[in-house]
Amino acid sequence: MTTQNKKFRNDTKRGDRNVSLFCLVLQCSGERNRHGLYSFLMNILAIGDIVGQPGRRAVEMWLPALKAQYSIDFCFANAENASGGLGLDEKCARQLLDAGLDALTLGNHAFAKKQVIELLEADWPILRPINGPSDWPGKPYLVHAGKLPIVLINLSGSVFMDSLDDPFQAIDQWLKSIAEQKLGKCVIIDFHAEATAEKTAMGHFLKDRVSAVLGTHTHVQTADERILGQGTAYITDLGMTGPSNSVIGMNIESSLRRFTKRLPSRYEIGDGPAVLQGAVITLDPLCGQARSISRVSLQEDTTV
Ligand SMILES: [Fe+2]
Ligand SMILES: [Fe+2]
């Protein structure tokens, strides 16, 4: 199924005005930065947790059109649920990267599929949380070489999550290391966390120290996207890319069994039209400041 032959409804919002190709062309042609100098901008697409086959299908269906529409320079997705709802294996990682994603992040289900260890050790563009044990396989961050480098980090929360190192102390240390190594001014954090308060606190903790703090894990897109301080894009949760007829991606009956019978239930993927959710962040790569953040939410047209 291609983007061209599949109708979709685009609920993308950008403040109180519609995004047009025209205004994006103007953005990319340059604007004055805070120093009064003309600068070019970079557009980043961040996609919320991909769940199973419906999520992978949504990425294949919409990513090419999104990249073209928003002149995307770098795009990544959280893929900790991409393989059968839990974890990431080689087949699914390859499918997502072949679809056009530049990098994949993980989270509390990072190692649910053991095959991911080989991918991390083989230097695939996949990130596990930075605040796990120091001997975890894989690299702590990824540097994407584009017009100017972008540093991507996957950080795990501590509230109602598996116990890893304190995320505030951990990111503090890693940001110092990244600055000392002069790896780049654009730093994007996928903060994979459960508690809204912890995510919001992290946004303020990193305000004007990184380009973006983007929440993942809860699979429900929040409507609180904003710029913190002078240039840190923030959203509590990017949302989910997967089946709409589900409980955060899981089959409804299977999920209800778990809650009403209080018995373990096999993880089954939900069904229904696919959704793709995330955000587009526009950055000034010379100073690393975000200029805007806009939610993206696409859903397959159920009338087709
Ligand atoms: Fe998660
Ligand atoms: Fe998830």
Amino acid at 287: C
Residues around ligand 2, an ion, CB closer than 5 A = 49, 81
In 3D, which of 116, 111, 207, 122 has the Cα closest to residue 164? 111
Residue 215 near residue 201, CB atoms below 8 Å? no
3-state secondary structure of 149: coil
Instruction: Answer yes or no: is 182 within a domain.
Output: yes
Residues around ligand 1, an ion, CB closer than 5 A = 107-108, 217
Instruction: Answer yes or no: is 71 within a domain.
Output: yes
- pLDDT the model gives residue 37: 57
Distance CA 52, CA 267 (A): 11
Q: How remote is the CA of residue 301 from the centroid of ligand 1, in Å?
A: 27
Angle between helices 196-205 and 167-180 (to 10 degrees): 30
Residues annotated catalytic, as ranges? 109
CA dihedral 65, 79, 166, 178 (to 10 degrees): -50
Q: Which ligand is nearest to the CA of 108?
A: 1
In 3D, which of 279, 281, 273, 275 has the Cα closest to residue 296? 279
Cβ atoms within 10 Å of 185's Cβ, excluding its own: 20
- pLDDT the model gives residue 32: 57
What is the DSSP-derived secondary structure letter of residue 81? B
- pLDDT the model gives residue 266: 81
Instruction: Answer yes or no: is 192 within a domain.
Output: yes
Instruction: Count up the domains in the chain and report the number.
Output: 1
Q: What is the CATH number of the domain that holds 216?
A: 3.60.21.10
What is the DSSP-derived secondary structure letter of residue 17? B
Q: How remote is the CA of residue 121 from the centroid of ligand 2, in Å?
A: 22
In 3D, which of 90, 88, 82 has the Cα closest to residue 60? 82
Q: Is the dihedral of CA 126, 131, 132, 136 positive or negative?
A: positive
- pLDDT the model gives residue 265: 80
Q: Which ligand is nearest to the CA of 79?
A: 2
Q: Which ligand is nearest to the CA of 55?
A: 2
Residue 296 near residue 278, CB atoms below 8 Å? yes
Cβ atoms within 10 Å of 4's Cβ, excluding its own: 7
**Helix, strand, coil percentages, rounded to 5, for the chain:** 25, 35, 40
Instruction: Answer yes or no: is 113 within a domain.
Output: yes
Q: How remote is the CA of residue 216 from the centroid of ligand 1, in Å?
A: 7
- pLDDT the model gives residue 272: 85
Q: How remote is the CA of residue 193 from the centroid of ligand 1, in Å?
A: 7
Q: Which residue do the tokens 């304190």 mark?
A: 166
Q: How remote is the CA of residue 159 from the centroid of ligand 1, in Å?
A: 12
Instruction: Answer yes or no: is 184 within a domain.
Output: yes
- pLDDT the model gives residue 262: 86
Residue 112 near residue 106, CB atoms below 8 Å? no
- pLDDT the model gives residue 146: 80
In 3D, which of 62, 109, 63, 123 has the Cα closest to residue 217? 109
- For residue 101, the enclosing domain spans 8-299
Q: Which ligand is nearest to the CA of 238?
A: 2
Q: Does an H or E element contain 269, and which?
A: strand 269-284
To the question of pTM greater than 0.75 for the whole model, the response is: yes
Which residues are registered as beta bridge partners of 9? 299
- pLDDT the model gives residue 24: 38
Instruction: Answer yes or no: is 247 within a domain.
Output: yes
Q: How remote is the CA of residue 20 from the centroid of ligand 2, in Å?
A: 31
In this structure, which long-range contacts are made by residues 178-181, counting pairs with CB atoms below 8 Å and at least 24 apart in sequence?
A: 178/141, 178/151
pLDDT means per 10 residues, the chain with 304 residues, are 37 38 39 60 97 97 96 97 97 98 97 96 97 95 90 97 95 97 96 98 98 98 98 98 96 92 86 95 95 96 54
Instruction: Answer yes or no: is 3 within a domain.
Output: no
Instruction: Answer yes or no: is 260 within a domain.
Output: yes
* Interacting residues of 273 by C-beta distance below 8 A, sequence separation 6+: 243, 244, 245, 299, 300, 301, 302
In this structure, which long-range contacts are made by residues 245-248, counting pairs with CB atoms below 8 Å and at least 24 apart in sequence?
A: 245/270, 245/271, 245/272, 245/273, 246/51, 246/270, 246/271, 246/272, 248/51, 248/218, 248/219, 248/220
Distance CA 201, CA 210 (A): 14
Q: How remote is the CA of residue 51 from the centroid of ligand 2, in Å?
A: 7
- pLDDT the model gives residue 11: 40
